Amino acid sequence: MALINEREREQARVARILHDRASQVLSAVGLQLDVLRMDFREQAPGIVQRTTEIQTMLEGVIEELRGLSYELNPSVVERAGLSFALERLVGRFRESAPGSIRLAAERDVRIDAHQGTVLYKIAEFALDNAVQHASFRTAEVLFRLARDRAVLEVRDNGVGFPVHETERRFQGGLGLLLMRYYASQNGIRLTIHSARGKGTIVKATCPVQQSPPAGSI
């Protein structure tokens, strides 16, 4: 789908800007402040403390930008593994969530890197829908191995919605459509259970290889 491909290209572009431009410029500013502090530490001792404070602020901003770039780029799963990527994802959504979000992810589940990336995207869409629309008190992201299948679940106890009616009327925005699309195109079984006042469960499963080849995560 052209819209989905365009969305991924835009995410990759923004990630590059944050990492390759914004972060590097801020790092250069920090270095210049270091030079300024050394040049004036005897003539104006007060500059040392002020520039140190500014550098600390810059370092915090740089770390946030790099983290956001890391999360926007789907290759985060290939580089660090799905469990770690889910930790970063949940941490990001906790900042704007109406309630608490718990993560329980088995670290020894190894799946194909591409399928891991798709599961990550499904988790991202499910959490975004929950945070934006569910008004939940608690939510959970679960990732585990069940026999020969990897299972991802995103649950919340929010307001819920009539799934078939919502999809038919396209009231759920792109989130539901994108989850369905990614699952159908990548051999992943996706189920969405919800009802008004009953919360929502998004569940995605895919087969795993017991002896993963190189390039698996």
Residue 142: give its domain's CATH number: 3.30.565.10
* Beta strands 100-105 and 138-146, pairing class: parallel
Per-residue pLDDT tens digits for 89-117: 899 899 889 999 999 999 877 788 888 98
Instruction: Identify the domain boundary among 49, 72, 95.
Output: 72
Which carries the bigger pLDDT value, residue 168 or residue 38? Answer: 38
Per-residue pLDDT tens digits for 25-80: 777 777 878 777 777 777 777 777 788 888 888 887 777 776 666 666 656 677 77
Range of the domain at 129: 81-207
- CA 9, CA 20: separation in Å to the nearest integer? 16
User: How much is the pLDDT for 13?
Assistant: 58
Tokens 């995103």 map to which residue? Answer: 154
Which carries the bigger pLDDT value, residue 147 or residue 211? Answer: 147
- CA 49, CA 37: separation in Å to the nearest integer? 9
Are both 102 and 163 inside the same structural domain?
A: yes
Longest Cα separation, the chain: 72
The stretch 197-202 carries a mean pLDDT of: 95
Instruction: Identify the domain boundary among 54, 72, 90.
Output: 72
Confidence of residue 216 (pLDDT cuts 50, 70, 90): low
Instruction: Identify the domain boundary among 12, 43, 72.
Output: 72
Residue 173 has pLDDT above 60, yes or no: no
Are both 110 and 193 inside the same structural domain?
A: yes
Which carries the bigger pLDDT value, residue 213 or residue 123? Answer: 123
Q: Which residues contact 52 (CB under 8 A, 6 or more apart)?
A: 37
- CA 142, CA 151: separation in Å to the nearest integer? 8
Tell me, yes or no, if the pTM score tops 0.85: no
Are both 146 and 42 inside the same structural domain?
A: no
User: How much is the pLDDT for 174?
Assistant: 66
- 216, part of any domain: no
- CA 117, CA 217: separation in Å to the nearest integer? 10
Summary count for the chain: helices (H), strands (E):
8, 5
Q: How many domains does the chain have?
A: 2
- CA 79, CA 75: separation in Å to the nearest integer? 6
Tokens 């679960």 map to which residue? Answer: 142
